[in-house]
Amino acid sequence: MVKSKRPLISINPLNGETLKTFHEMTPDELDKAIGRADNAFVEWSKRSFSERATILKRAGQLFEERADELAKLMAQEMGKKVNDGLGELALCAEIFAYYAEEGEKILAPQHLSTREGEGTLVFQPLGVVYGIQPWNFPFYQPSRFTAANLIAGNVVLTKHASNVPQCAEAFEQLLFDAGVPKGVYTNLPITSAGAAPIIDDDRVKGISFTGSNAAGAKVAEQAGRNVKKTVMELGGVDPFIVLEDADMDLTVERFVEGKLGNCGQICLAAKRIILTEPIADEFLGRVTKLFEQLKPGDPLEDTTDYGPLCTEKAAEQLEEQVSESVKAGAHLLVGGKRNGAFVEPGILTDIPAGSPAAEEELFGPIACVWVVKDEKAAIEMANDSRFGLGGSVYTKDHERGQRVAEKLECGTAFVNHVASSYASMPMGGVKKSGYGRELGELGIKEFVNQKLIRHFN
């Protein structure tokens, strides 16, 4: 047996303490895990929806029962504030409950009556599907992929981010405790270098990836060579458009929520703040004052305003992006300084084209602000991006909000609320933010064979 060479190390970003070390699977162990999953599919796919739903319901209940301990684990392993973690776990519980309750109805055979005759559309599981998951939502990200596929009759392999191995292990154990058979769900403790061969394996039928554009492009290219279905949720620089008739109290509240939730480490976070001229000074004055009052601290403490980023390396990268943007001519109104893995919430204005703040995704608590003349200019600014994940617009006029939201080039648009995820509603992106959908009715149909059965008399 080939020995593993690279450990997966769980490190507390608050203080750099090593919490636990995991050994990477060997190639032989990985091959056997895929084989167990392939074999497990035969029995799992034959189970009734009712049987599978019972297990999913129990998993949802366990997320509720274990919320405190799992939130603490996230705080220690990737720096998420406990309250943010509890919110994530509540969403996990809802996702499992939703698919347990709605999966059979969504995937029920559909009778087709067309101008060319009668038919039936049936939805059949594909087999072994493979999810490559990021660290920023260690339980939500695998939940949205796993719950949909398990109720559909697929079996799931997961390569989780290397910096959250304890969360990955806890997720797998929760599913086993809920009654998911071994092989139906498998956590693969492997590094990125060890993940690629799984895509080439003929026993694996589909791949879902959430992460950076560069890594996603490589996964999609490899999957394409193997003619395998993929879903990609990649980067985002979501616009947060504030029109002159916005409710300022609500808008500022939503901004803080959308910028500082999970310390800004969210694909759907408010990243490009686009202000119309009449309200720009008031908005910037209010949020600058709020940011000046924020205090860092232990994410386990209720009094903490913001915790560390996921790793010190991530904080260093964000610091460099801010520094290079300032050198290029951007103005740092407040914050932006780094201390270890902590980065002060900050606001950049007067951002020049070509700078990191204008061209890249700043994954952290730094708001990039543009001031424009009017609604038309705001929409143009919002769409002037290679990304298209989410976006939001703030106005007291419902019809105006609907009109602007429809014009945004993104997969998820919100009016008077930051872009968010819901178990029953689909999410995903366009342009360089990816393709395919997760959650809701669309999410469950990504990795099933939508087979036509044609009827003749």
Residues with catalytic roles: 233, 267
Nearest partner of 60 among 239, 186, 180, 167, judged by Cα = 180
Q: What is the DSSP letter of 432?
A: G
Nearest partner of 400 among 239, 283, 245, judged by Cα = 245
Written as one string, the DSSP assignment of 173-211 is: HHHHHHTPPBTTEEE----HHHHHHHHH-TTEEEEEEES
How far from 83 is each of 11, 50, 79, 112, 290, CA to CA, in Å?
21, 34, 12, 47, 20
360 CB-near residues (< 8 Å, 6+ apart): 321
Strand pairing report for 155-159 and 185-187: parallel
Handedness of CA 411, 414, 417, 420 (dihedral sign): negative
- CA dist 92 and 77 (Å) reads 18
DSSP element (H, E) containing 44: helix 27-44
Identity at 232, one-letter amino acid code: M
- CA dist 438 and 425 (Å) reads 8
DSSP element (H, E) containing 41: helix 27-44
Sole residue written with tokens 């038309």: 376
Nearest partner of 383 among 272, 234, 231, 277, judged by Cα = 272
253 CB-near residues (< 8 Å, 6+ apart): none
CB 194 within 8 Å of CB 171: no
Exposure pattern of 376-398 as b/e (b: 16+ CB <10 Å)? eebbebbeebebbbbbbbbbeee
Total residue count of the chain as it appears in this document: 457
CB 260 within 8 Å of CB 345: yes
Q: Which residues pair with 331 in a beta bridge?
A: 349
Determine the 3-state secondary structure of 276 from DSSP: strand
